[in-house]
């Protein structure tokens, strides 16, 4: 993943590192290909803190194995006979909630779309299958795979009650009527990591069709998935989404996602800048890099949004945006898969508001509409 260790990229320390108190992580490997299954077991077993306690060849076997063996985490293939990985993920999260990491053997746009449906079903993260033994990228990809499994094993997951879900929209906090009216909003910038794809999808799908400002997004993600993420996000949310291109003009009501391996910024002429720049917080793209440019260029005419994720990427720069007059929204702890990034922002007093995803969508719509109304009123007085 951009040639750097996942722990370093996320800028966190793994609890218990260097102590004898670290417990062994019990992993169930779900993969229908015997050769690939054996390979994944080999890679995982190379880490002394991981114990592969079992394997399954299809979703039905996986569901029974999870119930029987109670692993700490499951690595899940998508394309399998009898019951595929998507349905297995859904069933596991409804019956025996367990952290699940999707392991994908493809990075083609249409090939990775089921991966994002698995995220909708409750999987925590996804990663490309490590390259084969002897491949130049084997060590780096195997290391990222192992570290992803270790990190996700610590995330607390909850049961998904599929048959009890309601179409009724949940109640969300509202903006205070005593709050000052915002300036005219010209840009929304969003940063997210672990758990972010589904939250971003929730936010975009709840925005009004006439949402009048562009949205720029940095989502930490394994290389090779961004194109598929953009396509899935656009289809599932109904919001126009594309992978950003250098020099591209920012259009109202469109979302732009930072591509793999590029730092993304916004420029003075309302265009996107992409650079093969240094890693920041061990990351490329980095939320901090984007937010700093937004603070400089848009000042009080922007909204910054920091969502679920490990580490602290973007937290200090969200505070910088707030100090420049921007409105800042942070995801609450209860709805976050991991509250590292938003939690750090709250500690730094970088948040104007703290909301769940639905509340963030409502706030964005209200703030942009209020800013537009204020701008129109000012024009009318001229």
Contacts of 86 (CB under 8 A, 6+ apart): 78, 114, 117, 118, 121
Integer Cα distance of 270 and 278 in angstroms: 23
Of 153, 193, 237, 293, the active-site residue reads 193
220 assigned to active site: yes
376 contact partners, CB below 8 Å, separation of at least 6: none
Q: Which of 32, 58, 72, 313 is catalytic?
A: 313
The rounded distance, in Å, linking the Cα atoms of 126 and 110 is 15
Under 8 Å CB-to-CB from 70, ≥6 apart: which residues? 26, 96, 98
Is the Cβ–Cβ distance between 274 and 261 less than 8 Å? no
β-pairing verdict for 263-266 and 272-275? antiparallel
Sign of CA dihedral 218, 220, 224, 229: negative
Q: ∠ CA(276), CA(304), CA(217), 5° rounding?
A: 40
Nearest to 306 by CA among 382, 297, 168, 320: 320
Catalytic member of 32, 144, 220, 339? 220
User: Comparing C-alpha atoms, which of 319, 367, 311, 360 is closest to residue 151?
Assistant: 311
| Cα 62 to Cα 83: distance, rounded to the nearest angstrom | 9
**∠216-220-234 over CA atoms, to 5°?**
50
Which residues have a catalytic role annotated?
193, 220, 313
């Amino acid at each position: 993943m951009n040639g750097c260790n996942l722990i370093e990229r996320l800028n966190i320390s793994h609890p218990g590192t260097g102590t004898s108190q670290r417990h062994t992580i019990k992993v169930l490997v779900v993969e229908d290909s015997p050769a690939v299954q054996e390979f994944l077991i080999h890679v995982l077993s190379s880490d002394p803190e991981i114990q592969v306690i079992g394997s399954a060849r299809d979703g039905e076997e996986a569901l029974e194995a999870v119930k029987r063996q109670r692993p700490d985490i499951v690595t899940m293939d998508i394309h399998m006979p009898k019951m595929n990985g998507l349905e297995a993920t859904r069933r596991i999260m409804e019956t025996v909630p367990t952290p699940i990491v999707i392991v994908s053997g493809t990075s083609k746009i249409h090939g990775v779309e089921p991966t994002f449906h698995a995220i909708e079903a409750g999987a925590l993260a996804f990663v490309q299958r490590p390259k084969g033994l002897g491949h130049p990228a084997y060590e780096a990809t195997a290391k990222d795979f192992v570290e992803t499994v270790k990190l996700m094993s610590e995330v607390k997951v909850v049961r998904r009650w599929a048959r009890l879900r309601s179409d009724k929209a949940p109640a969300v906090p509202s903006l205070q009527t005593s709050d000052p009216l915002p300036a005219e909003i010209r840009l929304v910038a969003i940063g997210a990591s672990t758990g972010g794809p589904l939250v971003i999808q929730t936010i975009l799908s709840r925005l009004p069709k006439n949402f009048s400002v562009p949205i720029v997004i940095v989502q930490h993600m394994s290389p090779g998935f961004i194109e598929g993420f953009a396509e899935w996000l656009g289809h599932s949310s109904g919001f126009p989404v594309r992978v950003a291109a250098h020099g591209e003009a920012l259009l109202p009501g469109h979302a732009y996602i930072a591509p793999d391996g590029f730092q993304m910024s916004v420029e003075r002429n309302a265009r996107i800048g992409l650079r093969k720049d240094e890693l920041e917080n061990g990351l490329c793209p980095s939320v901090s890099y984007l937010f700093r440019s937004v603070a400089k260029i848009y000042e009080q005419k922007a909204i910054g949004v920091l969502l679920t994720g490990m580490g602290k990427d973007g937290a200090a720069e969200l505070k910088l945006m707030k100090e420049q007059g921007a409105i800042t929204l942070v995801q609450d702890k209860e709805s976050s898969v991991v509250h590292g990034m938003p939690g750090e922002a709250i500690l730094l007093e970088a948040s104007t508001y703290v909301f769940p995803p639905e509340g963030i969508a409502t706030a964005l719509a209200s703030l942009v509409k209020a800013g537009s109304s204020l701008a129109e009123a000012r024009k009318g007085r001229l």
